[in-house]
Structure 1
Amino acid sequence: MHRFLFSISLILAALSTHGYAAETSSLLQPCDKKKFKTIVDYEDRALCGKLSVPEAEGINDRMIDLNVVMLPATTRVVVEDPLVLLAGGPGQAAVSLGAGWAQRFENLRKNRNILLVDQRGTGQSNSLSCELELAPTLDDIGVSGSIEDVIAAQVNALKQCLEGLDADPQHYHSLAAAEDLERVRQQLALPAMNLFGISYGTRMALVYTRLYPDSVRSLLLDAVAPTDMIIPLRVGTDADLAFQQIMAECEAQESCRKAFPDLPTLLRDAESRLAERKSLNLIHPLTGEREAVTLDPRIINRLLRGAMYSRDLRQLIPLALSEAAAGRWQTLVAIGDLISPDYEDDATMSIGMMASVLCSEDMTRVSNDVQGIYFNNALTELLDAVCPIWPSTPVTEDYFQPVKTAHPTLLMSGTLDPITPPNYAEAALSHLSGAKHLVVAGGAHGVSHLGCLPELIDTFLETLAVQDLDVSCVEEILPKPFFLGYAGPFSPQKETTAHD
């Protein structure tokens, strides 16, 4: 039960008029439904292939296979430049996310092919997910013992995984992944591409653009994490800001203010009450079965931070805190199950790849934790334990310089984002002379699918005239009201008055 606890501690702790033809490259062939069921169920014309690339050219002789998928355009008139999804994490696999992502952006597929490449170390590109070694912790460590016990178990599992890996993890960083993507582009004889990065994928887009500027037509950057942002450093303080926004919004809404007048006290009371309990008897929100679990009180901190990633789940936070402070935990546990990732097939977050990237890059610049008032730094806490045992090679100092480019770029941020708030995109904007930054007041982590943004993205890709976009519609995407009870966000008294 409750695999979310494990995942939170890890993670918290995108052609010519005849279209792309498969015969232009022996790399891509019709996808095998047994191996790519989700993709083929979504698009039965999808093309799949593997490209063998050096793991570390000039350093070792190992070759690794990159998993490549092309989703063809849905109309017969197809432009040459594809749209490339660069997944987040770090550790997510683009191919496993591809079908769900493409469904949200069907308008972008009308005349443009979608290229999906599992970044090295993820999905079916020589994965470093270590899922077999970590699997025993999913149902045990995740629901019992302290956070320290969880981290120790994960570190031991990663040590075991290292012994059996057919890989040298120190070569699975962003620079190597950018070189891989360029090899794919060259193999498929593609022109300059449109890069669509989400979260960590925005960094990949910027790194690739710096290395291969002639291979880029445009950039779409959603939830921006530029190279000069040290991802683990301000996990706690950025979450604090997002929680303070919830406090301010609730205070500004009369019904919320009356129902939940002191959210910080509710948080502290919930943590204290959980610390006093030795176990909880909970109903699993999916199976309906009762189970006894022992939880570290700090898990509340992780759950709330995870919920703030979603503009829908954050609606439940005041209610969940109020219930937990009164000893009723089911709402909080249900939130945890809702934010739990899917661990089936290749959708598993590659924890080894995450470690390879962050230990080689960001963690080389983290000298101490920056803790928040309400939220501690869960990611640094985990990486402080993992990086000493995980092989990594520090990137050079110039890697962290801001990427400067004149490529047409559309940056998108959610005001409510607890991990990549708008200030990071704003800092990147000063070095992007052909860019525009859209800030969505009602958006959290990832906003490109909200409201009118898919249509704005479509217009941008067609014209590249980013400064001419009419973005007034973005102002209509506002925060959702908070739930006051299980019936929803509306006051029962107001509902009665309205009916009268």
Structure 2
Amino acid sequence: MDSAIANAFNITVQCTKVELPLCYEGICNAENDTATIAVSLKRIPALIADSTSGKVQAIWYLPDRPDVQTREEVDLEMALLYQELMNTVDIYTLDLRGTGNSTALSCNASDGSLLQANVFARNNGDINLRDVQACAQHLQDLGYTNLRAFSLASAARDIEKVVADTQTDLQVIIYALGYGTLVAQQLMQREASQIVGCVLDGALGMPAGDTGSASLSLSEVEAAAYELSKSAKDFGEVANGFIAWCQADTSCSTMFSGATPTTMINTTLFEVYDRLDGDATSMCAAILSDVDASGSINSATASVTPPSFVLRQLMAQMMESSTLRAFIPVLTYRFHRCGSEDLVVLSNFVNTTLKTLHGSDTPDLLYAIQAFSELWERPTANQTELTNRFTDSAISDGREYTQLLSYCLFTGDSSPACVNATTFEHASTATSRNGATLSYEHDAIDVTTNVIPSGASILLLSSGLDPISPPKYAAALFDSLQGVNKAHLVAPNGTHGVVQSAMLSNGTGCGRQVLASYVRHSGNLSAYDATCMDEVLPPSLAITNISTLLVLGVSDAYDGVLDIGSESDGSIGASGSSNSPAGSPSSGSSIDDLNKQISALESSRRRYKMALIIVGSALAALLVGGVVLLFWRHHRKKQLEYEEVLLRHMRGDADNELELMHSIYLLSSSPSSNGERGRDASRQ
């Protein structure tokens, strides 16, 4: 765990590695039946027992992918939950087999970079067939002849085995976020008796091959099935909901009257995209082209990445943030105007934001193998369809449209879509098909029946505007779950992760309170308290001068001018007199300096945010401690009064006994040592 977080919350973390079977029965067969794999576990141990549940409890925290939820964010969320539960519950997490501190799957490309870096790269990732083949052979040489050992089902079996072997007397609650919900759903189908509840926050539907059930219709199965290759379309659907909300909100649509279709935010966005791609030499197009790896060739499209693609992805990153999404209409307006007063503001924001985007953690190789084996549609959509899903959306993450080639090379798929995809600067996949691949078959196994296990409950949490885990999957999953012991709570217009984002007006985390109550009541949906969800602070799209200054560097969001100084004749300043691009040599150094200042400001803002969370949590702990102390003193006073009445009733003259009781009470409240207390009481 991050040492700063552990120290701030004064918690002790225990880490260990356990050896678990490489292959579980029914999943795969290893060449060596005794082959094992190391899985890294982490625990925050309970300090005291919880009197509410009456039993010792444990929570398993299954995080999202590392490019969505960093390790530091996982540590902070675990610490906050531990504090919310007043240190009464063991909290466990793990690095999935094949990742992190567990036995990791790792391969390098021929240029020395991580193989998966090109898979998950935006726009310019270029993957090589020889690198994929070399990686597949490398894993074979390590003894991983059947990569089904690294499936979602295998990860679930790891948790099941640890629970069965070491937590037989515990009540276990599973909490999972985003990608972690895929593992949690597999785990719940194992019906471990110790698991009494499961909270799926931002649930993704089961992989398409795993939702089959005799009691489910084909439409229900398709609705509940999550397919990564359709993520661009899913993102666009959520984005449409956001744009509609923004258009209806007066503070968000202040520059977009909506009186005619041409004044709508959505229409204006597509007009901006057409302008950017229609004139790639324009000043605003250059801002986006310069930041996109200097116009590297996109292997998926055999062309320079269009500036509209980059802007869509920038908007998508903003949509994932409850703070930045309010500035989407601002960027839309400024890119549409693209005047001299906009160029420096846009250049600095684009560079700073996309640097953060490109600097995010790259998912492990495991996630690429799992995605292409279990989460990609079969038969695959072709390149045109994948690209259209992205470009038909006003705002979309657009990562999957570049991954068709990776999918084809990892799986050895010989469908027409893959044959066409591999003709551009790549050999046929025939060699890959004849040898090892970086994938596994999963359709024939792990077919589950969405039945809620006996003695357990399932609580789904979803946010209405979560583009990472679109809420339609949680809704479809809830409908497909067979049984009545289930509940679904929705945070309207919220972002990813209800537990970490649903807040009350006083700054308290409502989502975390709901989770803690669910844990305290052992998953009893009739007893847990979720009333605060009705009081969750409605998200605001209003932007202030302070937030604008932090995000854009100016106080006026729509018309503020960022003056970078007049040292260079070609710099773009308040007057906007220069016609040179923002990235020209004459202004480059000033822009770089300004970028550094903005980056430092953003870094400071993140540190202050973390500090405020930690300080606020510490103050909350002190407040709780003070309340407990006051309650205890009040209880002691009432106890004394009761005993006085009792003694008076038993004996008419009880002055000596009362004096003794008062003395003992005063001594118990004094800071004197135990020895002194004993001698004083003895003298009395």
TM score, norm. by length of structure 1: 0.76
1:59 and 2:30 are equivalent in the alignment: yes
Q: What residue in structure 1 maps to residue 259 of structure 2?
A: none
1:404 and 2:406 are equivalent in the alignment: no
Q: CA 1:338–1:206 in 2, change beyond 3 Å: closer, same or farther?
A: same
Q: 1:418 aligns with which of 460, 467, 480?
A: 467
Which amino acid is the alignment partner of residue 334 of structure 2?
Answer: E
**Cα distance in 2 for residues equivalent to 1:162 and 1:41:** 42
Kept in 2: contact 1:134–1:154 (CA 8 A): no
1:254 and 2:267 are equivalent in the alignment: no
1:39 deviates by 7.4
**Cα distance in 1 for residues equivalent to 2:275 and 2:111:** 30
Q: Which moved more, 1:155-164 or 1:110-119?
A: 155-164
1:258 deviates by 3.0
1:92 deviates by 7.6
Q: 1:211 aligns with which of 190, 197, 204?
A: 190
Which amino acid is the alignment partner of residue 178 of structure 1?
Answer: A
Which amino acid is the alignment partner of residue 152 of structure 1?
Answer: D
Of all paired residues, the percent bearing the same amino acid is 19
Q: What residue in structure 2 maps to residue 479 of structure 1?
A: 539
Kept in 2: contact 1:55–1:63 (CA 8 A): yes
1:99 and 2:80 are equivalent in the alignment: no
**Cα distance in 1 for residues equivalent to 2:66 and 2:442:** 16
1:113 deviates by 0.7
Q: What residue in structure 1 maps to residue 102 of structure 2?
A: 125
1:226 deviates by 2.5
Q: What residue in structure 2 maps to residue 393 of structure 1?
A: 440
Which amino acid is the alignment partner of residue 395 of structure 1?
Answer: H
Q: Which has the larger radius of gyration?
A: 2
**Cα distance in 2 for residues equivalent to 1:281 and 1:418:** 26
User: Number of residues paired by the alignment?
Assistant: 443
Q: Which moved more, 1:435-444 or 1:328-337?
A: 328-337
Kept in 2: contact 1:409–1:435 (CA 8 A): yes
Q: CA 1:189–1:292 in 2, change beyond 3 Å: closer, same or farther?
A: closer
Kept in 2: contact 1:83–1:114 (CA 8 A): yes
1:214 deviates by 1.7
Kept in 2: contact 1:259–1:484 (CA 8 A): no
List alignment gaps of at least 5 residues for structure 2.
Answer: 212-224, 257-262, 297-304, 411-437, 504-509, 558-684
**Cα distance in 2 for residues equivalent to 1:213 and 1:246:** 40
1:152 and 2:126 are equivalent in the alignment: yes
Structure 2 counterpart SS, 1:396: coil
1:192 deviates by 4.3
What is the CA RMSD across the aligned residues, in angstroms? 3.9
Q: What residue in structure 2 maps to residue 223 of structure 1?
A: 202
Q: Which moved more, 1:112-121 or 1:371-380?
A: 371-380
Q: Which moved more, 1:214-223 or 1:330-339?
A: 330-339
Structure 1 counterpart SS, 2:60: strand
Structure 2 counterpart SS, 1:214: coil
**Cα distance in 2 for residues equivalent to 1:180 and 1:93:** 22
Kept in 1: contact 2:160–2:192 (CA 8 A): no
Q: 1:186 aligns with which of 161, 164, 167?
A: 164
**Cα distance in 1 for residues equivalent to 2:449 and 2:319:** 28
Q: What residue in structure 2 maps to residue 445 of structure 1?
A: 496
Q: What residue in structure 1 maps to residue 332 of structure 2?
A: 321
**Cα distance in 1 for residues equivalent to 2:103 and 2:111:** 17
**Cα distance in 2 for residues equivalent to 1:103 and 1:320:** 36
State the structure with bigger RCO (CA 8 A, min sep 6), 1 or 2.
1
For residues 237-276 of structure 1, what are the structure 2 equivalents within 5 Å?
A: 237-260=233-256, 261-272=263-274, 274-275=276-277, 276=279
**Cα distance in 1 for residues equivalent to 2:125 and 2:184:** 31
Residues 158-194 of structure 1: CA distance to partner in whole angstroms, max 9, x if unpaired? 5554454444544211111111112222343443421
Q: Which moved more, 1:53-62 or 1:93-102?
A: 93-102
Which amino acid is the alignment partner of residue 99 of structure 1?
Answer: D
**Cα distance in 1 for residues equivalent to 2:233 and 2:292:** 34
Which amino acid is the alignment partner of residue 349 of structure 1?
Answer: P
1:209 deviates by 0.9
Q: CA 1:340–1:332 in 2, change beyond 3 Å: closer, same or farther?
A: same
List alignment gaps of at least 5 residues for structure 1.
Answer: 1-32, 285-289, 494-500
Q: CA 1:280–1:402 in 2, change beyond 3 Å: closer, same or farther?
A: farther
Q: What residue in structure 1 maps to residue 353 of structure 2?
A: 335
1:428 and 2:477 are equivalent in the alignment: yes
